[in-house]
Amino acid sequence: MKNEKIYQAIYDKYIVPTKIIRKNYIGVEIELPIVNMSGGSTPEDAVHDIAELFSNKFGFTAAGWDSDGFVTMFENGENGDILSFDCSYSNLELSFGKAKTLFEVYDRFKSYYGFLNDNFITRNCTLTGMGINPNAFRSHGKPIQNERYRMLYHYLHSYKEHMSEFGISFHERPDFGTFTSASQVQLDVGYDRLIDVINVTSLLEPYKSLLFSNSYLPDYPEYLCVRNMLWEHSMQGYNPHNVGMFSQPLSSARELVEYIGTQSIYCTMRNGKYVDFKPIKVCDYFNRDEIHGEFYDGEQYREITFEPIESDIDYLRTFKFEDLTFRGTIEYRSSCTQPISDVMTVAAFHTGINERIFEVKELLENDYVIYSHGYSPTELQKMFSKRKFPDFVDKTELKGRFRRFGEEKLLAPLFQRAEQLTNPAREMLDGIERGIPMSHFVKKYAEL
């Protein structure tokens, strides 16, 4: 496939949907760790029982199964809401069908969450609003046994084969997907605003790290938001263009398409089986005669050689902080799950910013608080994901900066965080250092 044909295939998949005139909808996905209050791994029998009770209560039907016959996804045919498990049965995800307002999403969330957690509590477990399951190092770290997650687990564990290839530093928790939880939002984006929205929201990532960090692991004590590091320093980040931020502002849709062409494919399907392989840039993948990979035959992994086909582009899986999807939406991926009482703040932030994108653009273009010290947006985002506050930032000026981001569009908890320059992870760690046990914050962040 020649490069211009690759360009056209990418353009048709990602850019054309942004040209379709439609109403602006909101899509919200919230992942929730299931915490065993005794400190052990999550009891999967309880998870299956409670998911079944949930489906009966709210009229959901089974829509996905693992290889052992357990249901991995329940769907509501009327409103499009989904209850599923992300990577493991320790991570429950509520995905909401497209909505016009956040209030309708929040009303359904409260109903679902209240029912689920009332039942989990009877099994000595709780859902909670954290970006990391606090029992991560006590869990078995095994994925759901279905085609997708078995493939992903196998692929992420291949990092040892690539450690000497170049400068990337891999961490040693390739099972991170089984214990990390995110709060994600998808917003419709029109072609005329596409590049501005990506560029502006990318510049907000350092500020978001300050507000929303909520994932701490004792083995990485410098981080308040370790989730992003775990993604970037894994096989997902083998090609840096697949993860994190755009290193430079985009100038046009053409440049965005060319950038997508430099992202890597690492899996596809053949004969109903997922195949994974060493990541290959899209622009190279479709010009190859054959690809060498591996697949699970039901008992063991076997090698396979296959020819690329155009539909393989459907398996391009990227995890940019601002990720353009085939639906004509941008999915915002960088934020940790928030304490349940603040659970809609991530969606509210992005919805508000999206409505005032050009005002925010002007503010950021004239920023002197964090963008005047010689650091790139990517460097600043990584700095503000850590516990140590950068010395060069004037905290008083930074508080004032927050107050200019259209506060009326944000939920109330963010006002206090911006004023105190804090976030849930910082609050938790400060409390632990004062002798407050982790269990206190698990319960506190679980309160609706």
**In total, how many domains does the chain have?**
2
- pLDDT grade for 414, boundaries at 50, 70 and 90: confident
- Encode pLDDT of 283-324 as tens digits: 999 999 999 999 999 999 999 999 999 999 999 999 999 999
Q: What is the mean pLDDT of residues 2-17?
A: 91
- Whether residues 98 and 196 fall in one domain: yes
Assess if residue 255 is contained within a domain.
Answer: no
Assess if residue 331 is contained within a domain.
Answer: yes
- Whether residues 435 and 305 fall in one domain: no
Assess if residue 403 is contained within a domain.
Answer: yes
Assess if residue 163 is contained within a domain.
Answer: no
- Whether residues 28 and 61 fall in one domain: yes
User: Two tokens at 114?
Assistant: 């209240």
- pLDDT grade for 407, boundaries at 50, 70 and 90: very low
- Whether residues 183 and 308 fall in one domain: no
Assess if residue 253 is contained within a domain.
Answer: no
- Whether residues 343 and 301 fall in one domain: no
- pLDDT grade for 395, boundaries at 50, 70 and 90: confident
Assess if residue 368 is contained within a domain.
Answer: yes
State the residue range of the domain holding 365: 23-144+179-221+320-444
- Whether residues 437 and 304 fall in one domain: no
CA distance 238 to 162: 9
Residues in the chain: 448
- pLDDT grade for 416, boundaries at 50, 70 and 90: confident
User: Mean pLDDT lowest for which of 62-66, 355-359, 401-405?
Assistant: 401-405
CATH number at residue 39: 3.30.590.20
Assess if residue 165 is contained within a domain.
Answer: no
- Whether residues 382 and 401 fall in one domain: yes
User: Contacts from 207-210 at CB under 8 Å and sequence distance 24+?
Assistant: 207/370, 207/384, 207/401, 207/402, 207/405, 208/334, 208/335, 208/349, 209/334, 209/381, 209/384, 209/385, 210/384, 210/398, 210/417, 210/421, 210/423
User: What pLDDT shows up at residue 401?
Assistant: 63
pLDDT at 129 over 70: yes
Assess if residue 140 is contained within a domain.
Answer: yes
- pLDDT grade for 22, boundaries at 50, 70 and 90: confident
CA distance 91 to 219: 21
